[in-house]
Amino acid sequence: MPKFKLATWNINSVRLRIDRVTDFIRREKPDVLCLQEIKCLEDQFPAKALKAAGMKHMVVHGQKGMHGTAIVSRLPLEPADGPPFCMHGHARCTAVTVAGHEIQNLYVPAGADIPDPVLNDKFAHKLDFIERMRSHYQSRAKKRSAPPLIVVGDLNIAPEEHDVWSHRQLLKVVSHTPVETDGMKAIIKDGRFTDIARAKHPPEDKLYTWWSYRSPDWRKNNRGRRLDHIWSDHRATPHVDIKSYEIHTTERDGDKPSDHVPVTVKIAAAG
C-alpha cells in the first residue's frame, strides 16, 4: 500500500517564512504539510508559492494577527469539520480527509506564564481546551464508523519527563505542569492514541521540537521542549511507519527560523 509523508510545523508566520517552507517542501518532499500559527487571513495566505512548490491542494483557517492553521498537500483533500475545542472560536483547528485518514491539525493555546486558571484566563482557556479534547476523542474512539484519525500540531504541552530539558525545574512552568501533562496523558489514553515519537523512542531519550528565541545559543544550551506532536488512533496506528518518525532539528538554524521545527512521519493509505 503506498505511503504518504506527513509533516507538522508551527511556522510562526507563514508569510514571513514562506521561503523556508518552500525550501523544506522541495528538500524533504512531504505529501501533506500541516501548519500552525500562520498569522494571516485566508486571502493573505501564500497559496501561489505553495502551489509552485507542488502543494496544489489546501484548506486554510486564518485569523487576523494571530493563530491560524492550514493544511497543504500534493494529494487531494476533502475538508472535514474541525472539533469545537476553542471556547473563543479562534482558528485553532483545520481538519481534512486524505488517503483514507482524517487529519486534525491543532494549535492548542500556550496558556501564558501563570499556571493558575483563577489568576490567568489564558491558562483557564488552555485547560478547557484540553478537557474538550479528552471528551471528544473519548467519544470518537467508541464509534465503530469513524475513519482512522491522525492528530498533529503544536499542542503546547511536553508530557513526559524527558520531553523537557529539566523535569524538576519546569514542573511549575506552563507546558509541563502536572495538570497539563496529566490532561494530555488522559487524552491519549481515553482517545486510544499512540504518541508516535514515544512509540519510536524510549522514555529516557531527550526529544525536543521547540527552543526559545531567548536562548543566545540554542544548540549549546539545548533547553528545549517537545511541544509538537503526531498521534494516531487505534484505527490509524497499523498504517503508521513508526521508524520513519523524524524531528528536523536543523530547521532551528539559519535565517529567521521559527522557534519550532518540523516533525514528519510516513503513513500508508487506508481503505
**pLDDT tens-digit readout, 186-211:** 999 999 999 999 999 999 999 999 99
Sign of torsion over alpha carbons 114, 156, 48, 28: positive
**Banded model confidence at residue 64, pLDDT cuts 50, 70, 90:** confident
- Calculate ∠ Cα 62-63-65, nearest 5°: 125
d(CA 98, CA 121) in angstroms, rounded, equals: 36
- pLDDT for the residue numbered 30: 98
Residue 91 has pLDDT above 80, yes or no: yes
- Calculate ∠ Cα 43-82-116, nearest 5°: 100
Pairing status of strand 101-107 against strand 193-195:
unpaired
Cβ neighbours around 23 below 10 Å, total: 14
Which 3 state secondary structure label does DSSP give 251? helix
**Banded model confidence at residue 140, pLDDT cuts 50, 70, 90:** very high
d(CA 109, CA 114) in angstroms, rounded, equals: 13
For the chain, give the percent of residues with pLDDT over 70: 100
- pLDDT for the residue numbered 66: 86
Residue 103 has pLDDT above 70, yes or no: yes
Assigned CATH topology for domain 3-268: Deoxyribonuclease I; Chain A (3.60.10)
Tell me what the pLDDT averaged over the chain comes to.
Answer: 97
Does the pTM exceed 0.75? yes
Neighbouring residues of 135: CB distance < 8 A, sequence distance ≥ 6 = none
- pLDDT for the residue numbered 1: 62
- pLDDT for the residue numbered 128: 98
207-226 pLDDT, tens digit per residue, is: 999 999 998 799 999 999 99
d(CA 10, CA 34) in angstroms, rounded, equals: 8
When pLDDT is averaged across residues 240-257 and rounded to a whole number, the result is 97
When pLDDT is averaged across residues 3-30 and rounded to a whole number, the result is 98
Sketch the domain layout of the chain as residue ranges: 3-268
**Banded model confidence at residue 271, pLDDT cuts 50, 70, 90:** confident
